[in-house]
Amino acid sequence: MKLNIALLAGDGIGPEVIDQAVKVSDAIAKKFNHEITWKPALTGAAAIDAVGEPYPDETHDICVASDAVLFGAIGHPRFDNNPSAKVRPEQGLLKMRKKLGLFANVRPTFTFPSLLDKSPLKRERIEGTDLVFLRELTGGIYFGEKGRRDEGETAFDNCVYTRVEVQRIAKKGFELAMTRSKKLCCVDKANVLETSRLWRETVQAMEKDYPEVEVSYEFVDAVAMRLVQWPNSYDVLITENLFGDILTDEASVISGSMGLMPSASVGTDNALFEPIHGSYPQATGLNIANPMATVLSAAMMFENFGLKEEGNAIRNAVNKALDAGFVTEDLANGDNAYGTSEVGDWLAKNI
């Protein structure tokens, strides 16, 4: 297969972890006879520095012309403590999601047999966890009207959803549940929020189209609790943008390291693959960040093209590295830590 992949390394550790995903993907291409053309493009603080814009038009054009986007990380501390900054790296990510129509963020959480004791949660609670969040990504409070009123004394963010927006993410949820254990949990706050009541009503109306799927409706606060008590009781969860943002960070600790969790953002035409971790500025340039989440995001990318064997080859290499203890410092015992690029080389070699 010939693949054109837009490569958006972004900020902080982004370029370092992206390099490893490229190495591993190139090894896959070689082994399975694919041809990957990488199209690097600017985003985030790096793009602000270069052209004053976190998601420049040239980058958008490259993404639109590509078969998929592989993304590193975005964010820089110099913006975090400056609430009055007009241009922020994160705006680039939001604009990209919106302009590329990436409305469904797929965030799996699973455990690795060799890491069960690395999790802050007890082994018996997490064993067997294999769940997927479908986070709505282009609506809700992230995109509603926002601003300051009363000479700056009052601020507001509006949470808005339309039925169509809920239907399209719920459809993905039902379809995904059909390929798994046929259990779908709709996470909302319908006891308080009108948007949540629209979500619940819309999902309830769709149940009849998927009679085999067992649907549960749970409040987000209760899910936050059960997620760390009995994560293995969940399968597919659908939720709105902000709830999904928060819950997927919470879920990421189950596996033992946030540096392991990949994600996909899919829409009608394009798809983007990225680790769920951020730009980890303290580690920038130190060759210590865990590249596995980005490498596993590349696995999701191959699978999205229908290349299951390729995806599995990457997963197997990662599992092998974890079993062999060929890991970065976040997962290492004491002094046996390898560098970001050494782990990348090892994975590429073991494809």
Residue 168 token pair: 């399209």
Q: Would you say 23 or 107 has its CB closer to ligand IPM? A: 107
Binding site for Mn ion (CB under 5 A): 245
Work out how close the CB of 294 gets to ligand IPM at its nearest, in angstroms, rounded to a whole number: 13
Report if residue 296 touches ligand IPM, rule: CB under 6 A: no
> According to the annotation, is 200 in a ligand binding site?
no
Report if residue 74 touches ligand IPM, rule: CB under 6 A: yes
Pick from ligand IPM, Mn ion, none: which does 93 bind, CB < 5 to 8 A by kind? ligand IPM
Q: Would you say 19 or 245 has its CB closer to ligand IPM? A: 245
142 is catalytic: yes
Q: Would you say 236 or 264 has its CB closer to ligand IPM? A: 264
User: How open is the CA angle 173-175-179, to the nearest 5 degrees?
Assistant: 110
Out of 142, 210, 280, 338, pick the active-site residue. 142
Q: How many residues bind ligand IPM (CB under 6 A)?
A: 5
Pick from ligand IPM, Mn ion, none: which does 74 bind, CB < 5 to 8 A by kind? ligand IPM
User: How open is the CA angle 198-201-202, to the nearest 5 degrees?
Assistant: 80
Work out how close the CB of 249 gets to Mn ion at its nearest, in angstroms, rounded to a whole number: 6
Specify whether the CB–CB gap between 147 and 158 falls below 8 A.
no
Q: Would you say 28 or 270 has its CB closer to ligand IPM? A: 270
Pick from Mn ion, ligand IPM, none: which does 90 bind, CB < 5 to 8 A by kind? ligand IPM
- The interaxial angle of helices 194-206 and 163-179, nearest 10 deg, is 50
Q: In the range 86-105, which residues lie near ligand IPM by CB under 6 A? A: 90, 93
19 is catalytic: no
* Binding footprint of ligand IPM on the chain (CB under 6 A): 74-75, 90, 93, 245
Active site residues: 142, 189, 221, 245, 249
